[in-house]
Structure 1
């Protein structure tokens, strides 16, 4: 008796259909997890929204947590397409002997990618809620571990290292980490407090023009702070450099 398990995708057309079905389930699940949270979204509702039968979820993902992890992995893959280039560039800059302007530009590139990502999600409220719930610690920890290891850790480490170089402090110093995180946090507050932002500014929606006004304002503030910290670093280093340049007076 042949007990070998049949492959899930035996033909190219079958594989394509399988991938399309898998993608449809992930899209539906991400919306429902955003709306109702992990506990509130049922596998039956996910299957219904995806237009598949309930056993399809078990076939592709084993269980609901598997579906949730697949959502996280898909979102991380998508996000890394945006964040990967500036983070990789920052790592190269940090490995060399870059000047202050280059270090600041590298940080600004990371922040620009964050801004683009944040305001892209503004028009996808369920995705915004998805990450808000995950950040609040309400969702499976295994999913947060995926985000942290593949996305947040490299992004935050590069950002803190850049701020450290710019300010003349260790990248792992608590003040350096707080500075880096708070600079990026300027954007996150508009992403999270979406309704409050619209109310305070009297806007009907977060259209491209309004989003650009926020981004340009945050860019200017960020650059100003980074340049200020660099100036403070140079001011502290100036006396030491002057002392080294003055030759000791020889006694006759």
Structure 2
């Protein structure tokens, strides 16, 4: 697959108009890739939905692979704006000598940001389907590579570091990784399977009051698990200290 060009801008004062056109193409492409999949979404259809001609799409992205990569990069940039402050806060906490309470608070803050993104973030038409297709492994690996390198890995790294410190396990211990994934995964059903979730709860729809109720329950559950794992760590340390003293 040939390398794709990054942002191309028209010269002499065309920056704002060029960015606006580029964003229109990306939003249209996310919709069509989500609705039809990569193979069935043609560049001609993407250009038509964006209200531009086909040469304009080629000018900014060169080819369909370039558009697809730009979609993934746009998603990363949009999501990371929400996560960057809490990730930086957690990084600062990890760099110091913070106790369990501060570590737990840092993890819960990231979890809250994730819940806000899922429940209240801007809902781009087709985005959920775009992500479902990408996760199913049916699309080219371009998007997965971008999302993994620039979003999922940094987010998982800081979350797993918090879980490891709280629970007294190694970062690369499978227990740490499974705990982290399970905590983060609590919210995914509300994003990827809303119909099944509503049916299970017997709710006709998800209004703001119900969203806040879900967030409250998940937040309490997350905090309870983290506090339990910390208590287990403290119990192990106390036992080891007792054994050492007895020896």
Equivalent residue number for residue 11 of structure 1: 12
Residue by residue over 1:211-233, the C-alpha shift from the partner in whole angstroms, topping out at 9 and shown as x without a partner, is 21111111111101110111111
**Aligned-residue CA RMSD (Å):** 1.9
TM-score normalised to the size of structure 1?
0.89
Task: Tell me: CA distance 1:110–1:180, structure 2 relative to 1, closer, same or farther (3 Å).
Answer: same
Q: Deviations over 1:4-56 (max 9, x none)?
A: xxx952222x2221111111111111111111111121111111110111111
Secondary structure of 1:40's counterpart equals: coil
Aligned residue in 1 for 2:22: 22
**TM-score normalised to structure 2 length:** 0.91
Report the alpha carbon displacement of residue 171 of structure 1 after superposing the two structures with TM. Answer: 1.3
- 1:4 is aligned to none
- Give the CA deviation at 1:122: 8.7
Matched, 1:110 2:110: yes
Q: How many residues align?
A: 240
Q: State the shift of 1:160 in Å.
A: 0.8
2:98 is paired with a residue whose SS is coil
| Residue in structure 1 matched with residue 93 of structure 2 by the alignment | 93
Q: CA deviation at 1:208?
A: 2.0
Once the two structures are TM-superposed, the CA of residue 61 in structure 1 deviates from its matched residue by: 0.3
Gaps of 5+ in 1: 1-6
**CA distance in 2 between partners of 1:226 and 1:59 (Å):** 50
Q: Could you tell me whether the CA contact under 8 Å between 1:122 and 1:191 is conserved in 2?
A: no
Worse overlay, 206-215 or 118-127:
118-127
Contact residue 9 and residue 19 of structure 2 kept, 8 A? no
Superposed CA offset, 1:140-164 (max 9, x none): 2122111111110010011111111
Q: Distance in 2 between matches of 1:177 and 1:8?
A: 42
Matches within 5 A, 1:1-252: 8-12=9-13, 14-120=14-120, 123-124=123-124, 126-242=126-242
- Alpha-carbon distance in structure 1 between the residues aligned to 2:194 and 2:224: 25
